[in-house]
Structure 1
Amino acid sequence: MTWSFPIGTLLGSELRVHATFFLLLAWIGAAAWLAGGPVAAAMNILFILVLFACVVAHEFGHALMARRYGIRTPDITLLPIGGMARLERMPEKPAQEIAVALAGPAVNVVIWAVLVFVIGVDTSVEALLAIEDPREGFWARVAVVNLFLVLFNMLPAFPMDGGRVLRALLAMRMPREKATLIAARGGQAMAFVFGFLGLMTGNPLLILIAVFVFIAGMAESSHVAMQEFGRHQGVRDAMITSFEWLREDSTLHEAANTLIRTTQHEFPVLDAGGRPVGFLTRRDLYAALAEDVPRMREIRGVIDREVPMVHVGAPLNEAIEAMQRTGSTAVGVVGPSGALIGYITHENIGELMVVSGRG
C-alpha cells in the first residue's frame, strides 16, 4: 500500500504503518494536551497505541488461521481506521472463509475476557464514568473497546468480518460471484448509513469508515468477478504481445527514450537469450531519473526481479492469483523455451472483460 512503510516482521508477516496513522496520533495528542495538559496527552497516545496493538493481534488472528489453509499473509498495515491483513488469497471454501473471518474477532473476545475475568478489570457503569481518570479507566477502556471491535467487525458490511461471513454463507447456496455482489451491496448500503451518521454528528472517523467500506466493497466485488472470468479464459487470450523491451545493461537514458515513445507502464527486461530477468516500471524509472546520477547508468539496479511468470498455456486465473499474491502490477508470459512472449496487467484483463461483455 502506498504511503506506508515497514516497522518490522512478526510471525512471518511484515508489519507496516500508514503515514496517516501518525497524523491520528498527533491529532489525539494535541487535543488531549489542550484539554488536560501533557499527562493527558501521554495517556491518550498510550491508549491509542495499546488499542492498535489489539488491532494487530486481531489481524494476526486472521493471518494465523489462514496459514492453516496454506495461505500466507505478506503484510499487515495499520491505518487510522484499523488494520488490514493482506492475504495472498481468500479461501474459496465457505467453511474456511468463515473460520478465517471469525478468527480476528475471536482474538478480541479473548483479550476482553482476560482483562475482565483474569485480571479483574471493572467494566461497570461507574468505572466507565471515571474513564478520564488514568488510574481508574485505562484498562476498562481497553476491555470495552475490544468488545466494541468484535461487535463492529461483525456487522454484515462487506468487506468487514461479518460481511465475509455473510458472503461465505451465501456462497453455500449460490455462485461465489453472486454471493460477493450481494454482500458488497449490503456493505455499500451500510456505508451510506455510516456516512450519513458521520455528517449528522460531525464525526470524521465515521465518514472515513464509510468511504473505506464503500470503496473496498467495490474493489472486492470487481476482483471476484475478475477471478471468475479468469477461470474461463486462457493467458493467451489476455496477454500483450506488442511491446518494447529493455536489456539488463540498458541505460537510464535509453529507458527514458523508450518511455517517451510508448504508452507502456511496465517494460520487460530480457537477457541475451530472450529470457525475462524482471520488469522496469514507469514509477521506478521516474524515481531513478529524479536522482542525481548519470543518465548513462545501467538500469540493472532498479529492475523489479520479483515479477511472477506464467506459462502461455496456463489459465488466466493463474496470472490473476500471481499478481494478487505478489502485489505485482504485471505478470510475464513465457513460452516452452522459457523466452518471454508477452505480459499481462490488470488493465488489459479489464479491457478483455469489457470486450467480452463482462466489464
Structure 2
Amino acid sequence: MTKTTLLAPYSLGPLELPNRMVMAPMTRYRAAVDGTPLPVVAEHYAQRAGAGLIVTEGIWPSSRGQSGWRLPGLETAAHIEGWRAVTDAVHAAGGRIMAQLMHGGRHGHPLSRIDGDVPSGPSAVRVPGPVHVRDGGKADPLPPREMTRDDIRQAVDDHAEAAANAMAAGFDGVELHGANSYLIHQFLADNTNLRTDEYGGTTEGRIRFPVEVITAVADTIGAGRTGLRLSPGNPQFGMAEADPAPVYRALLDSVDPLGLLYLHLTDNDSYPALTDLRTRWHGPLIANVGENHDPTTREAGEAVLADGLADLVSYGRSFIANPDLPERFASGAPLNAVDERHLYTHGAEGYTDYPALFQDLRAVGT
C-alpha cells in the first residue's frame, strides 16, 4: 500500500479523473421552493471541483418523487437552467459532476411536497416518524399509496426524462440512487415491498423495477454515462433486508452486462457487500465505507484500494467542511470540522464559507 493511491489519476469511461476521491451525494436543502437550485449551489460545487468526481445531492426526477421541502428537481426548464449554472461553474473550475436522481418513493408528506399529495411506494408501508415538513416543522407520517403498474411505468419514464434533462443541463452523467431507503431500494427490501405481483414476492420480482429504471436511463443517455448507487442491508429509515446477498447478486448479474459507467457501493456491518459483490461487477467500482460510521479517513480509503475492493472511494462529510480535501490529504494538513448547525439550512453559512488550505495558511501569516 502506498500513500499516494487515493491521489493517483483514474480513467472513468470518457472522464479523466485527477484522483480517486469522489465527493459523495449529500442532501443540503439549498433549493428554491420550486426545486430550482439556488445560486449558492454553483459556488459550493465549484469550490470542490478538485475531487476526482462530484456526485450531487439527490435530485427528484419529477414532483411525484419529491421527498422533502426545498430539495432540488430536474423536471422543468427552470431546473435545467439552474443546474446548468452549477455544471458550468464546476467545469470552469476543472471538475467533473454527476447528477444523482433520487425518487423518494414512500418518503415525503403532503406538507413537504409541491403537489400537496400523498407519496407512493411499492407497498402501503409508512416510514418511521415523525417526518420533516416545510419550514422546519414535523408531522406524523402517512401510509404511502401503493403504486399501480401505471405508476411504476410512469416512474421509469420519469427517470429517463430526468436523465435527458441532466444531460441538457451539462452534467457528465447520472447516478441512480438505489440506496439509503429511496424508491429503488424500497423495491429491493423485505419490509417495504410486500407486493405479490411481478414486482414483488420473488428475487426476480424485487429486482424488476430497478432493472427497468437502470435500463431505461442507459438507453436514454448511454450506459457509459450512467452510474448506480446501492447500499445492501442499510437499515436507515426503517429498512429491513434479512438476507441481502441473493437479491443484490441477482441485480448485479442483470445489469453488469449493460456496461454502466460505475457502481457506487456502500458496505454494511451485517453484510460485507464490497467483498461479496466485487467479483460480480466487471466495471469501475466506487466504495463508500463511511455510511452509518465515523467519517472515512485517508487511511481507510487507502486500505479499500489496497485490498482491491474498489477503484475509487467516496467521501461525504469531509468534503462538506474541506472543499480542497484532496490537497489536504496530499499535504497532510488538518481538516476543518463540520458546522452541524447549518447542514440543512438554506444559505451560504456552513455551505460555501469553509476555508481552503491556502486561506488557512494566509490567516496565520505563512
Say which structure, 1 or 2, has more relative contact order (CA 8 Å, 6+ apart).
2
Please give the TM-score of this superposition, normalised by the length of structure 1. 0.26
**Quick check: which has more Rg, 1 or 2?**
1
Structure richer in helix, relative to its length: 1
Please give the TM-score of this superposition, normalised by the length of structure 2. 0.25
